[in-house]
Structure 1
């Protein structure tokens, strides 16, 4: 009886701990995806995939998503960094409540819709980056600020909550393995893919 009791006790504890981990609100994601598809159709963007980043979630959980419009579901998910703001670079100071700004030198993430542009060499991660053009007043300084989409060795492959993901200077940086998957997907697309960072 004792081993059986221990099994149920451990199972109960694990369920309780996991229940406390913040998770993506799939209904909200589907609504954002619906709005994204309408935007992409209007602008002539890619209507197969978009990238959604939910900055309302702590940085230690998966809040980066590649959304598949055809399947109406998440294709790839992972951790993603946000900007450190006034805090020291590469810490976890604002893991639950990041500051947002479009100002050059703010070292903050800027929310809004982005057009994913050309692929180029990066000094970080798997040495691939994509330029980002901010499409809204909240992020239209992205090119001037050198905000790009890249991978970073310090971004974990699995969730680290309640810890956070190390913070950079405002770029959405993902793990190396996640970037390998996303890069292979992006290279095949003939039209611009939308990235939407929302809070």
Structure 2
């Protein structure tokens, strides 16, 4: 008996593309499993975040990092303790689909309607009820993400994002938002809602 195997890709519908989008080098089957944030990269980000947060009235104890250079099936979103310089929690985060219906690797753009992720530092703003439930507004603090609020790029959850690592399977795409699982957003909300000062989300590559 012969069987037909059908592969279904789940994604949040996407369209549009910014001309300045920059693709990331594709992963191949021969790439090693990079399950950890590179130590030197994380140490550098922590040092920079400590200085930046102190000078900009942001939370000086907790920061969120999202490393979109990592495979999307790996927990590349990290909650980091700036005092102890260690990762407290990790989870999956989707990147924008850009020009494609589904993009394995992230492309970056600051243009409206590009459906791309944007690199840079974000101040996490007010909580609200969005199309997919609770969400947080994001205010871009760099030239690379200055249009985030205008583009309605936010931190939110969606059902297609798994609660645990799915590697080597890639996760679904967003339209440029930092999109996580509902369980992980609940964990992030505890830090955001319990903080007297705004938290920093820093998306890197």
Higher Rg of the two aligned structures: 1
Gaps of 5+ in 2: 1-30
Task: Tell me what 1:48 maps to.
Answer: 61
Task: Tell me what 1:39 maps to.
Answer: 52
Give the distance between the partners of 1:45 and 1:110, measured in 2 at CA.
20
Task: Tell me what 1:68 maps to.
Answer: 81
Instruction: State which of 16, 22, 38 in structure 1 corresponds to 2:34.
Output: 22
Task: Tell me what 1:10 maps to.
Answer: none
Give the distance between the partners of 1:60 and 1:105, measured in 2 at CA.
25
Instruction: State which of 55, 67, 81 in structure 1 corresponds to 2:94.
Output: 81
Q: Give 1:36 deviation, angstroms.
A: 0.6
- 1:168-183 aligned at under 5 Å gives the runs 168-183=174-189
The aligned length equals: 174
Query: Deviation per CA, 1:13-45, whole angstroms, max 9, x where unpaired?
Result: xxxxxx931122133112101111110011121
Residue 132 (structure 1) aligned with residue 145 (structure 2) = no
Give the distance between the partners of 1:57 and 1:134, measured in 2 at CA.
22
Give the distance between the partners of 2:43 and 2:134, measured in 1 at CA.
29
Give the distance between the partners of 2:177 and 2:62, measured in 1 at CA.
20
Task: Tell me what 1:120 maps to.
Answer: 128
Instruction: Give the alignment's TM-score, normalised by structure 2.
Output: 0.82
Task: Tell me what 2:119 maps to.
Answer: 111
Task: Tell me what 1:157 maps to.
Answer: 163
Q: Give 1:158 deviation, angstroms.
A: 1.0
Task: Tell me what 2:11 maps to.
Answer: none
Task: Tell me what 1:11 maps to.
Answer: none
- How large is the RMSD of aligned CA atoms in angstroms? 1.2
Q: Structure 1: which 4+ aligned runs deviate by more than 3 Å?
A: none
- Equivalent position SS for 2:54: helix
